[in-house]
Amino acid sequence: MKNYSSKSGESKIIVFVPYPAQGHVTPMLNLAKAFLNLDQGFRPVFVTPRFIHDQIVARYDDHENNNHMFITNDHHHQTNNNNDSIEFVAIPDGFEGKSSVARDFFSLEEAMEKVMPAHLERVVRDQGEDVVCVVVDLLASWAIEVANRCGIRVAGFWPAMLAVYRLVVAIPDMVRSGLISDTGCPQHLCPISFLPNQPILSTEEFPWLIGTLAARKARFKFWTRTLARSRTLQWILANSFPDEESLNDEKLNKELLPLVLPISPLSKNLTTKNPSLWEEDNSCLDWLDKQKSNSVIYISFGSWVSPIGESKVRTLAMALESLGHFFIWVLSNSWRAGLPVGFEERVSNRSKIVSWAPQMEVLRHRAVGFYLTHCGWNSTMEAIQSQKRLLCYPIAGDQFVNCNYIVKVWKIGVRINGVGLKEVEEGLRKVMEDKEMKLRLKKMYERTMGDEACRKATSNLRLFGNFLSKQTLLGSSFVSKTSF
Q: Are 414 and 59 within 8 A, CB to CB?
A: no
pLDDT digits (tens, 9 = 90+) for 7-22: 334 679 999 999 999 8
- Segment 454-464 shows an average pLDDT of 93
pLDDT band at 5, cuts 50/70/90?
very low
Residue 470 near residue 477 (C-beta atoms within 8 A): no
How far apart are the C-alpha atoms of 143 and 157, rounded to whole Å?
Answer: 12
pLDDT tens-place string over residues 197-229: 678 889 999 999 998 999 999 999 999 999 999
pLDDT at residue 249, rounded to an integer: 56
- pLDDT for 152-169, tens place per residue? 999 999 999 999 998 999
Which pLDDT does position 321 carry in this prediction? Answer: 97
Instruction: Determine phi and psi for 186, rounding to 5 degrees.
Output: -60, 130
Bridge partners (DSSP) of residue 43 are: 13
Mean pLDDT (the chain) is: 86
Residue predicted with more confidence, 180 or 269: 180
How many C-beta atoms surround the C-beta of residue 76 within 10 A? 12
Q: From 70, 66, 12, 20, select the one nearest 44 (Cα to Cα).
A: 12
Give the C-alpha separation, 156 to 168, whole Å.
14
* 3-class state of residue 73 by DSSP: coil
Q: Could you give the CA distance from residue 271 to residue 264 in angstroms, rounded to a whole number?
A: 16
Residue 174 scores a pLDDT above 60: yes
**All residues at 6 or more sequence positions from 50 whose CB lies less than 8 Å from its CB, including other chains:** 72, 73, 90, 91, 92, 93, 96
Return the pLDDT at 257: 64
Model pLDDT for residues 113-158, shown as the tens digit of each residue? 999 999 999 999 999 889 999 999 999 999 999 999 999 999 999 9
Enumerate domains of the chain plus CATH numbers. Answer: 12-159+233-268+450-470 (3.40.50.2000), 282-447 (3.40.50.2000)
- Percentage of residues in the chain with pLDDT exceeding 70? 83
Query: Average pLDDT in the 411-415 region?
Result: 98
3-state helix, strand, coil split of the chain in percent (to 5) is 45, 15, 35
User: Is 211:237 a contact under the CB 8 Å cutoff?
Assistant: no
Over residues 24-83, the pLDDT tens digits come to: 999 999 999 999 988 889 999 999 999 899 888 887 644 444 444 444 444 343 333 455
pLDDT at site 335: 87
Residue 43: predicted pLDDT = 94
Q: Of the spans 237-246, 291-300, 455-464, which averages the highest pLDDT?
A: 291-300
Is the pLDDT confidence value at 412 over 50?
yes
Instruction: Render pLDDT for 299-333 as a digit per residue (tens, 0 to 9).
Output: 999 876 666 888 999 999 999 999 999 999 999 88
Beta-carbon contacts of residue 195 (< 8 Å; ≥ 6 apart) = 163, 166, 167, 246, 249, 252
Which of 135, 114, 121, 130 lies closest to 238, judged by CA?
135
Encode burial over 361-377: b for 16+ CB neighbours within 10 A, e otherwise. bbbebebbbbbbbbbbb
What's the pLDDT score for residue 196?
A: 67
Angle at 453 between CA 28 and CA 274, to 5 degrees: 30
Who has greater pLDDT, 46 or 97? 46
Judge whether residue 476 has pLDDT over 60.
no
Mean pLDDT within 265-294: 83
Q: Is the pLDDT of residue 445 over 50?
A: yes
Helices (H), 4-97: 22-37, 50-59, 62-66
**Which residues, other chains included, contact 61 with Cβ-Cβ below 8 Å and sequence gap of 6+?**
none
Give bridge partners of residue 48 from the DSSP assignment.
90
Q: What is the dihedral of CA 318, 320, 324, 325, to 10 degrees?
A: 180
pLDDT tens for 379-401 read 999 999 999 999 999 999 999 99
The pLDDT value given to residue 68: 44
Residues 6+ apart with CB under 8 A from 353: 328, 329, 331, 336, 344
Share of the chain above pLDDT 90, in %: 67
258 prior amide bond cis, ω within 30: yes
